[in-house]
Each structure stands twice: as structure tokens, then as C-alpha cells.
């Protein structure tokens, strides 16, 4: 079963690459078939096998030889790894389906945010629609509270920090609340802020990033969400036992 889940993750990762590339350009994600961004040659099915084609073609377009971004293989491997981790934690359940869809949305949002410093509304809308259906049986009412808690908290941060938090982050936090429920959302936001501030401060201190440079917070919210959906309940249990 592990191999089936890995394979599913690779294929979804391959689709996410299309989403990451085309969504910010307002291109359709269902057609036309994938093409080389340099020479525009339509790629054959055997050029598009996750990981394998990349390795065989040595990371180059087989028609014009331009180097293909390592992002493609990174997204595929990352998605497969996360899918496997969710399966090992939750098995074949509604909860796993819920988290597979959620993590796919997070990965797409993160890579688009890293490159373009935006989180497209299409991902937010897809998250709200899919999440509303998938979480009825698993997260339930807690997801509804999560939407308002996530959106509200980050709106507060945005106001307090005078716009250092983007609108995309606020909407993403609402989607996180829906998929995670309000308790795991708090763990996700805490972890996301902790890692995000650490990396952000490091980049500022080392001069890699200037004070005015936009800092993509989406990937850290996504990282926090992944940690929370895998280990959030353990973190809450540990915290309650230790401090309360
Ligand atoms: Zn090419």
C-alpha cells in the first residue's frame, strides 16, 4: 500500500507543478497539454513521468536542451513524502483524504507564494469548497470555528503590523482553520510564526533580505499546518501536561 500512496503522491505532485506554473499566469490548468516553456514543444506522455523523466532527461528539455527547474522534481518528491507521512499516521481513512487534499493545496500555495509573493484566490476558493465537503465527517463544527479564528487572528496581525501580513495569508489561515479545526489551527499558526520569524530574522540579520523586501509567509503557514496535522495532538497533549 505504501507504494500506491507514493505513486499517488508523485502524480498529484506532477499535477501541482502544472498548477504552480500556470495559475499565476491565468492559464488553464486542464488544457492544453504540458509544453516546454522555452521551445513550446508539446511534451509526450513519456516526457512527463514523475521523477523518472527528469532523471532520464538529466533535467533538460529533450527537444531544445534548456535546463528544467529543480522545482519540478522537488514538488513531486515533497508531495509523495507528505502523502506517505499522512498515510502512515492515519491509514486509508476520510481523515487521510482530507489531509491529502489539504497538503496538496498547501504545497501549491507555498511554491506560488515563494516565486510570486501571492497566494491565488483560486487556491483559497478550492480549499473552501473541497474543505467544506471533506471535513463534515472528520473535523465538523470545529472547522467552522477554525475559519473565523484563523482569518480573525491573521487579520489582527495584519492590522497590528501595518500590512506586513498579506491578504493571501489571512485567507490561507481561514482555509487552514477549516481543514484542521480550531485546536490544530492554533498549533499550526504557532509553529508557522515561530519558524517564519526565525528564518525571516536570520535573512534580515545576514543581509540576504532588506527590511522592505516582501517576505512570503505562506510556506511557513503550510509548514506549521503539516507539523500540526501530523503531530498536533501530541504537541497539545504534551503542552497541557507540562504547563497546565
Ligand atoms: Zn524545450
For 69, the domain range is 1-92
55 CA from centroid of ligand 1 (Å)? 16
pLDDT, tens digit, 9 for 90 and up, residues 63-100: 999 998 899 999 999 999 999 999 999 999 999 999 99
Segment 126-148 mean pLDDT:
93
21 CA from centroid of ligand 1 (Å)? 15
Do residue 167 and residue 204 come from a single domain? yes
60 CA from centroid of ligand 1 (Å)? 8
Helix (H, G, I), strand (E, B) or coil at 35: strand
Q: Are 189 and 222 in contact (CB under 8 A)?
A: no
pLDDT, tens digit, 9 for 90 and up, residues 180-235: 999 999 999 999 999 999 999 999 999 888 877 888 899 999 999 999 999 998 98
Residue 107 lies in a domain: no
How far apart, in whole angstroms, are the C-alpha atoms of residue 162 and residue 81?
Answer: 37
Handedness of CA 128, 181, 118, 100 (dihedral sign): negative
Do residue 121 and residue 231 come from a single domain? yes
Helix (H, G, I), strand (E, B) or coil at 143: helix
Do residue 225 and residue 122 come from a single domain? yes
How far apart, in whole angstroms, are the C-alpha atoms of residue 46 and residue 53?
Answer: 7
The grid cell for 70 is 529543480
Q: Are 130 and 93 in contact (CB under 8 A)?
A: no
pLDDT at 180: 96
pLDDT at 163: 66
Do residue 73 and residue 144 come from a single domain? no
Last residue within a domain, chosen from 58, 92, 126: 92
185 CA from centroid of ligand 1 (Å)? 43
Handedness of CA 43, 44, 50, 55 (dihedral sign): negative
123 CA from centroid of ligand 1 (Å)? 28
Do residue 128 and residue 219 come from a single domain? yes
Count: domains in the chain: 2
Do residue 40 and residue 151 come from a single domain? no
Question: Residue 116 contacts by C-beta under 8 Å, 6 or more apart in sequence?
Answer: 24
Do residue 73 and residue 134 come from a single domain? no
Q: Are 41 and 47 in contact (CB under 8 A)?
A: no
Helix (H, G, I), strand (E, B) or coil at 65: coil
38 CA from centroid of ligand 1 (Å)? 5
Q: Are 37 and 64 in contact (CB under 8 A)?
A: no
32 CA from centroid of ligand 1 (Å)? 16
Amino acid at each position: 500500500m505504501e507504494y500506491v500512496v507514493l505513486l499517488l503522491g508523485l502524480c498529484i505532485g506532477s499535477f501541482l507543478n502544472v498548477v504552480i506554473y500556470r495559475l499565476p499566469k491565468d492559464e488553464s490548468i486542464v488544457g492544453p497539454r504540458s509544453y516546454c516553456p522555452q521551445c513550446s514543444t508539446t511534451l509526450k506522455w513519456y516526457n512527463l513521468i514523475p521523477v523518472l523523466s527528469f532523471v532520464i532527461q538529466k533535467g533538460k528539455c529533450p527537444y531544445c536542451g534548456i535546463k528544467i527547474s529543480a522545482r519540478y522534481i522537488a514538488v513531486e518528491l515533497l508531495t509523495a513524502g507528505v502523502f506517505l507521512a499522512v498515510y502512515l499516521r492515519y491509514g486509508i481513512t476520510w481523515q487521510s483524504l482530507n489531509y491529502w487534499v489539504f497538503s496538496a493545496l498547501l504545497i501549491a500555495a507555498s511554491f506560488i507564494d515563494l516565486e510570486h509573493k501571492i497566494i491565488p484566490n483560486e487556491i483559497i476558493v478550492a480549499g473552501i469548497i473541497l474543505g467544506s465537503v471533506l471535513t463534515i465527517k472528520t473535523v465538523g463544527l470545529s472547522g467552522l470555528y477554525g475559519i473565523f479564528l484563523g482569518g480573525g487572528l491573521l487579520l489582527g496581525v495584519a492590522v497590528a503590523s501595518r500590512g506586513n501580513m498579506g491578504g493571501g495569508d489571512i485567507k490561507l489561515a481561514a482555509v487552514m482553520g477549516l481543514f484542521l479545526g480550531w485546536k490544530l489551527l492554533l498549533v499550526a499558526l504557532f509553529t508557522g510564526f515561530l519558524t517564519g520569524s526565525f528564518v525571516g530574522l536570520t535573512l534580515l540579520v545576514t543581509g540576504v533580505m532588506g527590511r522592505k523586501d516582501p517576505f512570503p509567509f505562506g510556506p511557513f503557514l503550510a509548514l506549521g499546518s503539516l507539523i500540526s496535522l501530523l503531530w498536533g495532538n501530541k504537541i497539545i497533549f504534551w503542552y497541557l501536561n507540562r504547563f497546565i
